[in-house]
Amino acid sequence: MKPTILTIAGSDSCGGAGIQGDLKSIAANGGYGASVVTAVTAQNTVGVSGVDEIRPGMIEAQIDAVFDDLEIAAVKTGMLGSSRTIDVVAKGLQTHRPRRVVCDPVMISKAGARLLAEEAVDSLVRELLPLADLITPNAEEAAVLTGIRPRNRDEAVEAGRRILSQGARAVLVKGGHLDDDPATDVLVTPEGTRFFTAAWIDTPHTHGTGCTYSAAIATHLGRGLDLESAIELSKQFLTNAIRGGLAIGSGAGPTDPFYFLKDDGEPPWADGSAAAEAREP
């Protein structure tokens, strides 16, 4: 049976990121996606033109409705927007106690729009980090959380350690914004550090990469993989999804979580070895 993975995030009207991107990634990685919408955005490949938050009572009702009926194998959180949304989501997770939680600390859109209020950063650290098995900041988000803007592997490790000290159980500092090695992600845990490296794909069509990646990791955790294996398989998947990026719209197009359908290939979760390997460029 497919594991049911719950994404708690904002809606992206152009479909590449947020709830829509998460659900595609969950399905592409062998899960069944359920959702709790925290905000509605008006956006396209060029930028975000509007954001409306969902009222806390409705967010709470969505969380309760999903958990009361479905067996949730893992939860992924994305855009939460404000302290009041973080508060209701954290309370929902404490009440229902999902087995695995991945937190993607969405703060700023690819086009530069603010998606997490400045006053909400402390709430994210205080309320959500201790509930998450993994937090997946990019370099810019790591800078907001720690004051360190990592430019290389060593600085990414230091940023990860600082986030661990804030209460996180494991931190994956994504390398897309690193200067020296942009295709390397840095996992920092109390047990040590591991680097996940893949080919760098030179393309503008990377809308939704963070959502796609974190949703894939949550899905593989829900399938029963250990953390490092879930990240490794998701990294391979993301590389191929970026390689298959879709040139839609006039801005940054989205990744393609279903890249494997183009040539009748196997989905990334179908086999633990050959089918999961990233294809050569």
Mean pLDDT of 100-122: 83
Averaged over 9-28, what is the pLDDT? 96
Residue at 281 is within a domain:
no
Instruction: Identify the pLDDT of residue 280.
Output: 36
**Residues 193, 187: contact at Cβ < 8 Å?**
yes
Q: Is residue 149 part of a domain?
A: yes
- The pLDDT of residue 123 is above 80: yes
Q: Say which range, 43-47, 68-72, 130-134, 230-234, has the weakest mean pLDDT.
A: 43-47
Q: Report whether pLDDT(117) > 70.
A: yes
The reported pLDDT for the residue numbered 112 is 64
41 belongs to a structural domain: yes
Cβ atoms 132, 125 nearer than 8 A? no
Residue with tokens 């098995």: 133
**Assigned domain for 9 exists:** yes
Separation of CA 206 from chain center: 13
The verdict on residue 57 lying in a domain is yes
- 125 occurs within a structural domain: yes
| CATH code, 58 | 3.40.1190.20
Beta-strand ranges (E) seen in 122-209 are 134-135, 171-173, 184-189, 192-197
Q: Is residue 112 part of a domain?
A: yes
Helix (H) or strand (E) holding 11: strand 4-12
Contact status, residue 6 vs residue 34, Cβ threshold 8 Å = yes
What's the structural domain count of the chain?
Answer: 1
| pLDDT above 70: percentage of residues in the chain | 92
Q: Is residue 148 part of a domain?
A: yes
Structural tokens at position 31: 């899960």
Quick one: pLDDT band at residue 271, thresholds 50, 70, 90? low
Q: Domain limits at 66? A: 4-276
Is 174:106 a contact under the CB 8 Å cutoff? no
CA 57 from chain center: how many Å?
24
Catalytic residues: 174, 206, 208-211
Long-range contacts of 156-163 (CB under 8 A, 24+ apart): 156/186, 157/186, 157/188, 157/193, 160/186, 160/187, 160/188, 160/193, 161/188, 163/129, 163/135, 163/137, 163/188
pLDDT (tens digit per residue) in 134-150: 999 998 899 999 998 89
The answer to whether residue 277 scores a pLDDT higher than 70 is no
pLDDT tens across 85-101, in order? Answer: 999 999 999 999 999 99
Task: Report whether 170 contacts 188 (CB < 8 A).
Answer: yes
